[in-house]
Each structure stands twice: as C-alpha cells, then as structure tokens.
Chain A
C-alpha cells in the first residue's frame, strides 16, 4: 500500500493562489474551455500561504480504520457535471463560481417555508464527520466533512404529514457553469424518502478538512448520504422541497434506464454495465471489496424492509 507522500500534496496556499490566478485568467480569457487544460494539475513548488495555514493533512481515520483521502484528491477529483465530465478539470473550471451570496429555498409541503442564507446555515452547530464516499463509477474516498444533520434544518420548516419525499436541486448558472451546455436534463435533481432524509447520517456539509467547501466540492452547501452512491450527494444546493410523490432524479432522467431512485450501495448488485463488487480507494491506489451499504448497514438497514429485494439497490 503506497500512500501519497505529504510532500506531494499541494499546500493550500499554492492551491488557493492558483484559484485566484485562474479566476483572473478566466476573466482575461473569457474562455472557459481553455481552462480545462489547466484543471486538475497537482504538484508544484510549496509557497508559504498568505495566512500561514498548513495543508490539512493528518493521520486520522474513519471508524473502520481507513486513512483520510488526501486533501488534494478530495478537492481535485470531482464529479460535478455542471462544470465538466472530466473529474480533474472541475476544480479549475469551478474556481470562479460565486458562492458568497447564496440562498437555499426550503418549501413545498411544510408549515414554515424558509429561505436560508449563509448566516442561517452557519447558525446550525456544525461538527466534523469522517464519512466514506462510494462513487457509482467504482471508486471511493474517506472524507472529513464539516456539517450538520439535514434533519435539523427539516425540523425547522416543519414537514406536513402529507410529505413523504424530499426533493433537492443544484444551482443552475449558465454564466459560470460551462458544463450546462452538455445535453443533460438540467437542473441536477436528487431525492430521498423523508425517513432517509431525517436519518442522522444524512448530512448537510458546508466544509471539508475543516475549511469552507471549495466550489468543486459543492460550495457553499451540499448533501452527503454516505450509504448511497455518490450521485445522491448533490452539490451547491439552492432548493429543497418536501413533496408527496417520489421525485424523478437527474440520473433517473439522464441515465437511460440505468439508475433508479434508491441507489443504496450493494456490492452484489451490479450496475447494468459494470460490477459494483470492488472499488478503488483514491489516494491509496488500492482496490478492495465494497461493503454492503458502504459499511453503514448497522446504522441504516432499519430504514428498509426486506433488504434482500434488489429494488433498494437500483
């Protein structure tokens, strides 16, 4: 097992200064496609950061003993189709994405609809949660998120008894998201059944590695549902609605019948085109067996009756 040496990880100062550089470059060139060539390049000369913060690397693990995925990989390898289909290109293309003036509109079947701005979100007491992320493509990461249970936000708006599902929507900004030109059924919509959404592991994350989320990771606020494939953990949320009917998700609409609503991780249930039995742990370059419900079976198996039914894993 060969871990990435800490010396190979880009210090945050370099990374941040590159982001500033690329923001400037984007304005100069006004050509987002040109930036894709620069996206995702790692390495480089360690330059002292402006505020002297060290790159956040430590020897911590999740509860199963898996080391944290290096910061450079977590923030440099992202599926965020609104920017690019190329995971390494997303960070560069998303660098200028404006996330300071943000609002999450929560409504639908609730007693107290409310629009949460960033201060409202910061008012929720955040904690660090080290959670495994299993992408449906067959790779995984171990990520220290900062966030709070979605349940707290949902209780504040008081779901009505007729609400059975929660529908989430990612931001849609054609000016700053070059990937929207691709033929997909935008916006990115995801959904959970209400009891899944209220489960304590269902997290609204606002930070990663103790810092604010960078745009490529779904700034300023994203969902993390660690026992489901990563497609369910949508990024840069602008809208949350409580609804009576099961929402049609982005991948149900785009995936040519290959994706269902539940998407719970199960190594025994293959994707139509590939196996889900194993996964490659990014950063360690090690392939290993995937765990049932991504290792969270003890916590979440109670949500589902008849776990043997393959329906839950589609």
Chain B
C-alpha cells in the first residue's frame, strides 16, 4: 500500500464504510425475497425487516459521536451522516411497503385503519423528520441554512424517540421492543455532561498509568 492510499483511507475510510454499510443488508433483503424466502407473508416480512434496518441504522448513526468521544478516534463521526441516510432509505422502503404494498395505495382502506393505528402516526412522524434531515444534508441546502442547520439536525433525537415509541407500540415481542429504547437511552446518557466528564477523568487516569509504565 502506498503512503498516499494509506492517508486517503485514514481521511476517508470511515465515511466510505458508512456509505457502503447499508448495501449488504439491502442486497440481502432483496436477494432473500427474490429467492422466495418470504413465501407465506412477504408483506409482513419486508415491512418488519426494512423497519428493523431503519431503526438499527438510526441508532448506529447516533452511536458515532459517543464512540468517537470514548475511543478518541474523532474521524468516527464521518460515518454519522451516511448511516443516517441509510436509516432514511430503509424507513422510506418501510413506509412504501406499508402504504403501497400492504394497502396498495387504497386510501379508502387506509382511512378505515389509520385513525386507530396510533403506531403508524408515530412512525410517520419519525419518517418525516428523517426526511427533513435528509433534505437538509444536501450541501447546497445546508450552506443556505447557516446556524439553523445545527438546530434542525438536533431533531434526530426526536426522530429516534418517535421510532422507538413506534416499535414499542407495534411489537409483539417485548424483549426486542425494549431493546431499542434501552440502547437509545444509553446513547443519550453518554452525552450528558457529568457522564462525559467521568469518561474524560477515566481516560486521564489511564493515560497517567500508561505513562508511568512506559517510564
């Protein structure tokens, strides 16, 4: 490996991994469907699996910053945006499977259900917020937003909260349903100032130990 390639990977590698990360699950899902893997209830299978991927990628995206803080590998934050965009893509597929495949865009049928389908409304809220974040991540839009961009990006926490709530309401398996809020709360907890200070203290203590050992 040349020196230049190594440098490029150091600068761009994390972002590239983020960009490519969603390809494998997406291809896997399509290939399983094409191979006849979901014979009995493909609508349910595709809907659940795309939804699960969406929330997983959203939580992975939110994990980038705490991971960078803890590991002190700052470039991990480069994966945040591509992982978030994959979350949006899977959430879009999830919403499309629900409206277009399950309900065949039959708004009369959807209308019968939607008022009582509270988890759908919460999920739709999460999806619209992710769509907003996706649109504002377009460079030209972003540069026109100035200080507002950061404020808008913060709604990702609201989107994650709604997504987690959506799963809690829809899920039959309580163990899986509670897994997501627990992870989300843990990720948010890592951002609290006292927790961040504690992590910093721990790290200082350890680096002191290490320096003693090397001496």
Chain A positions near chain B (C-beta within 8 angstroms): 4, 8, 40-43, 72-73, 76-77, 85, 87-88, 137, 139, 267, 270-271, 273-278, 280, 282-283, 285, 287-289
Contact = CB atoms under 8 A, between A and B. Distances in A.
B119 A274 contact: yes
Interface string B32-47: 0000110111111000
Contact of B112 (A139, A277, A283): A277
Contacts, number: 70
Contacts of A42: 36, 39-40
B43 A277 contact: no
Interface of B: 36-37, 39-44, 102-104, 106, 109, 112-119, 169-170, 172-173
A280 B45 CA distance: 13
Contacts of B42: 285
B40 A282 contact: yes
Task: Give the interface centre of B104, B113, B118 by most chain A CB atoms within 10 Å.
Answer: B113
A139 B172 CA distance: 14
Contacts of B103: 287
A203 to B, nearest CB: 24
Contacts of A139: 41, 44
B203 to A, nearest CB: 39
Nearest to B120: A274
**Which 4 pairs show the lowest CB-CB distances between chains A and B?**
A270-B116, A275-B116, A277-B112, A275-B113
Given A72-B40, A73-B40, A282-B40, A287 B117 contact: no
Given A8-B36, A43-B36, A77-B41, A287 B102 contact: yes
Given A73-B39, A77-B40, A282-B41, 9 more contacts: A8-B36, A88-B40, A270-B116, A273-B118, A273-B170, A275-B114, A278-B112, A278-B113, A280-B44
Contacts of B104: 287
B39 A72 contact: yes
Contacts of B41: 73, 77, 87, 139, 280, 282, 285
A87 B40 CA distance: 10
B117 A280 contact: no
Nearest to B115: A275
A85 B37 CA distance: 19
A273 B119 contact: yes
Nearest to A43: B36
B40 A275 contact: no
A277 B40 contact: no
Contacts of B115: 275
A103 to B, nearest CB: 32
B42 to A, nearest CB: 7
Nearest to A270: B116
A278 B44 CA distance: 15
A280 B118 CA distance: 18
Contact of A280 (B36, B43, B119, B169): B43
B39 A85 contact: no
Contact of A278 (B36, B109, B118, B119): B109
Contacts of B172: 85, 137
Contacts of A72: 39-40
A41 B37 CA distance: 7
Nearest to A9: B39
Given A85-B172, A289-B112, A275 B117 contact: yes
A273 B113 CA distance: 11
A284 to B, nearest CB: 11
B172 to A, nearest CB: 6
A41 to B, nearest CB: 8
B116 A277 contact: yes
B39 A273 contact: no
A119 B165 CA distance: 51
26 contacts: A8-B39, A43-B36, A76-B39, A77-B41, A85-B172, A85-B173, A88-B40, A139-B41, A267-B112, A273-B118, A273-B119, A274-B116, A274-B117, A274-B118, A275-B112, A276-B116, A278-B112, A278-B113, A280-B102, A282-B41, A283-B40, A285-B41, A285-B42, A287-B104, A287-B109, A288-B109
B130 to A, nearest CB: 23
A150 B109 CA distance: 36
A300 to B, nearest CB: 23
Contacts of B36: 8, 42-43
A286 to B, nearest CB: 8
Contacts of B114: 275
Contacts of A40: 40
Contacts of B109: 278, 287-289
B170 to A, nearest CB: 7
B113 A277 contact: yes
